[in-house]
C-alpha cells in the first residue's frame, strides 16, 4: 500500500467518513473508494461488484477475482439522555460494539455522581445541545431520565430528524402519557409509533445491567435492519 493511501485512510478514519479500500492481491495495488468517485483502470472492470460490496458493508474477495474490498464504516452515533446508573452499563456495551456515544444531562449532580470514563458528557439541556450540532436519520436516541422536561425535547428533535432508532425508558402508563403529550404537540400516530417505549426487548430482567442489555439488544437489531434498508 502506498504511503499516500495510508495517510488518507488515517485522515478519513479520524473524521469518521465512510469509505472502502480496494486492493488487487495479484499486484498489491490499492486505492480508496467512495460511491460516486471515479475508479482507476485497475478496478473499473469490477465496478458493479465493488459497489455491491460497499452497499452491503461487506468485506472480502470478489468471486473469481483477486480484488479485495475492505469497508471502513462510520460508527453509529448514539445519544443518551440521562447520566443515570443504567447509562454506565450502556456505555460499556455500546463502546465494545463500536458505537459512538454521547451522554447529555443538564443535572450537574448526576453528571458528577456517576463514574463515566472516556465518554463525551454534555452538561446541557437537550435543546442547547441539538441547536449546536448536526444530526441525521443515522443517529439513535435513548432517553432515560423519566423527566418530561429533559426527555421530551430530545424525543421531539429525534422525531423531526427521523432518527432510525428512538427509545424511551418508562412504564407502559408513563409511555401512554408521553405519547398523548407528543400528540398534543402535533406529532402523528406513525411518528409516535416509531418510539420504542417502554424501551428494550423483553428479557424479564430488573437490574440496571439487565435493562441496559435489553436496550442494546434492541438497538443492535434496529441498527442492522437500518443498514439493509
**229 contacts 165 by C-beta, under 8 angstroms:** no
Mean pLDDT of the chain: 89
pLDDT digits (tens, 9 = 90+) for 124-133: 999 999 998 8
Q: How many CA atoms lie within 13 A of 154 on its CB side?
A: 32
Residues in the chain: 229
What 3-state DSSP class applies to 85? Answer: helix
Q: Where in the chain is the domain with CATH 3.40.50.720?
A: 77-227
Cα dihedral 148, 150, 156, 162 in deg (nearest 10):
-120
pTM for this model (two decimals): 0.74
Helix pair angle (172-184, 148-160), 10° resolution: 60
What is the topology classification, in CATH, of domain 77-227? Answer: Rossmann fold (3.40.50)
Would you place residue 226 in the very low, low, confident or very high pLDDT band (cuts 50, 70, 90)?
A: confident
Distance CA 135, CA 22 (A): 30
Question: Which triple of cell numbers denotes residue 164?
Answer: 432510525
| pLDDT tens digits along 178-214 | 999 999 999 999 999 999 999 999 998 889 999 999 9
pLDDT tens readout for residues 47-91: 999 999 888 778 899 999 999 999 887 778 999 999 999 999 999
Amino acid at each position: 500500500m502506498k504511503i499516500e493511501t495510508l495517510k488518507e485512510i488515517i485522515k478519513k478514519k479520524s473524521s469518521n467518513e465512510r469509505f472502502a479500500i480496494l486492493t488487487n492481491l495479484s499486484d498489491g495495488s490499492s486505492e480508496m473508494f467512495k460511491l460516486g468517485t471515479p475508479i482507476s483502470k485497475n478496478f473499473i472492470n469490477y465496478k458493479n461488484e465493488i459497489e455491491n460490496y460497499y452497499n452491503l458493508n461487506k468485506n472480502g474477495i470478489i468471486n473469481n477475482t483477486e480484488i479485495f474490498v475492505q469497508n471502513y464504516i462510520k460508527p453509529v452515533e448514539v445519544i443518551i439522555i440521562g447520566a443515570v446508573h443504567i447509562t454506565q452499563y450502556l456505555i460499556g456495551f455500546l463502546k465494545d460494539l463500536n458505537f459512538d456515544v454521547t451522554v447529555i444531562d443538564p443535572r450537574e449532580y448526576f453528571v458528577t455522581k456517576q463514574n463515566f470514563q472516556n465518554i463525551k458528557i454534555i452538561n446541557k439541556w437537550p435543546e442547547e445541545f441539538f441547536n449546536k450540532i448536526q444530526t441525521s436519520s443515522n443517529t439513535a436516541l435513548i432517553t432515560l431520565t423519566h423527566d418530561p422536561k429533559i426527555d421530551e425535547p430530545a424525543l421531539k428533535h429525534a422525531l423531526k430528524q427521523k432518527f432510525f432508532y428512538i427509545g424511551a425508558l418508562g412504564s407502559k402508563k408513563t409511555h401512554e402519557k408521553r405519547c398523548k403529550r407528543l400528540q398534543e404537540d402535533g406529532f402523528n400516530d406513525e411518528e409516535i409509533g416509531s418510539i420504542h417505549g417502554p424501551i428494550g426487548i423483553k428479557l424479564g430482567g430488573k437490574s440496571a445491567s439487565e435493562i441496559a442489555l435489553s436496550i442494546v439488544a434492541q438497538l443492535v437489531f434496529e441498527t442492522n435492519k437500518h443498514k439493509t434498508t
